[in-house]
Amino acid sequence: TVLKENTNLRVLVVGHTDNVGNATDNYKSGLDYARQIRYYLLKNGDVANNRIRATSQGEAQSIATNGSERGRLLNKRIEVIFEPIN
Of 81, 83, 11, 13, the closest CA to residue 47 belongs to 11
More confident residue, 56 or 1: 56
Q: Is the pLDDT of residue 86 over 90?
A: no
For 21-71, give the DSSP string.
S-HHHHHHHHHHHHHHHHHHHHHHH---GGGEEEEEEETSS-SS-TTSHHH
Specify the length of the chain in residues: 86
Sheet holding 52-58, edge to edge: 52-58, 9-16, 77-84
What's the pLDDT score for residue 54?
98
**Residue type present at position 3:** L
What is the mean predicted confidence (pLDDT) over 1-14?
93
**More confident of the two residues 2 and 28:** 28
Give me the pLDDT at residue 20, please: 97
The pLDDT of residue 45 is 85
Neighbouring residues of 55: CB distance < 8 A, sequence distance ≥ 6: 12, 13, 14, 15, 31, 34
Question: For the segment 19-71, what is each residue's pLDDT rounded down to a tens digit?
Answer: 999 999 999 999 999 999 999 999 998 889 999 999 999 999 999 999 999 99
pLDDT value at 1 more than 90 = no
